[in-house]
Amino acid sequence: MQFIDLKAQYAALKPRIDARIQQVLDHGQYILGPEVKELEQSLAKFTSSRHCITVASGTEALLIALMALDLKAGDEVITTPFTFAATAEMIVLAGGRPVFADIEADTCNIDAARIEAQVTSRTRAIMPVSLYGQVPDMDEINAVAARHGLAVIEDAAQSFGALYKGRRSCALSTFGATSFFPSKPLGCYGDGGALFTDDDGLAQAAREIRVHGQSGRYVHTRLGVGGRLDTLQAAILLAKLERFEWELERRAAIGERYERLLAGLAGVQRVAVRGDRNSVYAQYTVKVEDRAAVQTALQAAGVPTAVHYPKPLHRQPAYEQYRGSDPCAVSDREAARVMSLPMSADLSEADQDRVVQALTVAVNLSASSRPDAATQRSLPRAARVD
């Protein structure tokens, strides 16, 4: 069983992907070829954004967005510590300072109610992360930003295609930034990403930044990077877009089926999905106690798992210096419990049943091996399993 079955996806799309790749090989325009513009137009239409700017990776998308907003040295960007390092990494590389606000326990997304307390005179932007495929409370986040004159960058690396109150992820704020890393809901066969905005000036800045700050050939009007999406990757994404709506439907169905199958399983808590939005389930994530033991049992049963993410950023050596007034205790607790199960549009019901059956055995075995509460209280403190 594959954690994410990219081979099955390729088998289903092989004729279209191969034809698209061959077209690029035939015309030979490997950098900013016609497929790049075609992809940008298709993605802008899909999200209902005015502008789409494709870039070399989701990480590059975040950096270019911050550069387009002219982030200055020492400027603060409020974000979540419960995310991949790239979120904070790009803030620091752009000269800024990440400021962490804790997460909601049930969704693991940034808690919008905790953001305003972190705003200072140095705050320049808010960067929420749409974790596991679900958008956070963007209306509340945008309202905080509006009160303080801040930009909002949605880190939508895991949520391309998701809906929030009828609107697409990536089209909900100043900038939306997504990733086309192979394992993402819409993935290429290497690195790739895109930025979305309705602001003409920011779009122009982003386009210039991705080609070394050029407004014209050898006319460098601003500091930039080499951040273009390869034409071959654009071609692959165009082929995958042809069945993307079907994949979103399948992800929703598989996610809902996991919900039903796991609803009565003691010892397993599911990440909540709010009623006014959906999830594209970039990962299907649950929460368990004694995670290491559960993972070991699942591995023995041939079921792969992953942890997104085992240590929040305020505990990482590179970023612990940015700990602020929010202790981020919820992030600490959930980081010790989250575990992602196999998920892809091509996951069969038989394999999904295998996952659930193995998880049931694993959590029951783990629970039976732990002393119960009464036994715990009778033990000397040094012997307790806390």
* Closest alpha carbon to 342 in 277, 298, 375: 298
* Closest alpha carbon to 308 in 275, 254, 271, 273: 271
Q: How far apart are CA 32 and CA 234, in angstroms?
A: 9
Q: How far apart are CA 312 and CA 98, in angstroms?
A: 13
Start-end of H helices in the chain: 6-27, 34-47, 58-68, 86-93, 138-148, 200-209, 231-241, 244-262, 291-300, 329-335, 349-368, 373-378
Per-domain boundaries in the chain: 6-241, 244-369
- What tokens appear for 194 in the block? 């895109």
* Closest alpha carbon to 78 in 134, 126, 138: 126
Contact (CB, 8 A) for 137 and 147: no
Residues in the chain: 386
Q: Cis (ω within 30 of 0) for the bond into 309?
A: yes
Phi and psi at 23, nearest 5°, equal: -60, -40
**Those residues with Cβ within 8 angstroms of residue 263's Cβ, 6 or more apart along the chain or in another chain:** none
CA distances from 56 to 147, 233, 291 (A): 33, 9, 35
Which CATH code is given to the segment(s) 244-369? 3.90.1150.10
What are the mean pLDDT values of the chain's consecutive 10-residue runs (386 residues total)? 95 98 98 98 98 98 98 97 98 98 98 98 98 98 98 98 98 98 98 98 98 96 97 98 98 98 95 98 97 97 98 97 94 98 97 98 88 45 36
CA distances from 270 to 48, 162, 287, 340 (A): 31, 18, 6, 10
Please tell me the chain's helix, strand, coil percentages from 3-state DSSP, rounded to the nearest 5: 45, 15, 40
Q: How far apart are CA 372 and CA 369, in angstroms?
A: 9
| pLDDT tens digits, one per residue of 297-352 | 999 999 999 999 999 999 999 999 998 899 999 999 999 999 999 999 999 999 99
Helix (H, G, I), strand (E, B) or coil at 78: strand
Predicted local confidence at residue 382, as pLDDT: 37
| pLDDT tens digits, one per residue of 121-164 | 999 999 999 999 999 999 999 999 999 999 999 999 999 999 99
Q: Considering the entire predicted model, what is its pTM?
A: 0.94
Predicted local confidence at residue 208, as pLDDT: 98
The CATH number, out of the four listed (3.40.50.1000, 3.40.50.1100, 3.30.465.10, 3.40.640.10), of the domain defined by the range 6-241: 3.40.640.10
**Those residues with Cβ within 8 angstroms of residue 17's Cβ, 6 or more apart along the chain or in another chain:** 10, 236, 239, 240
Predicted local confidence at residue 371, as pLDDT: 65
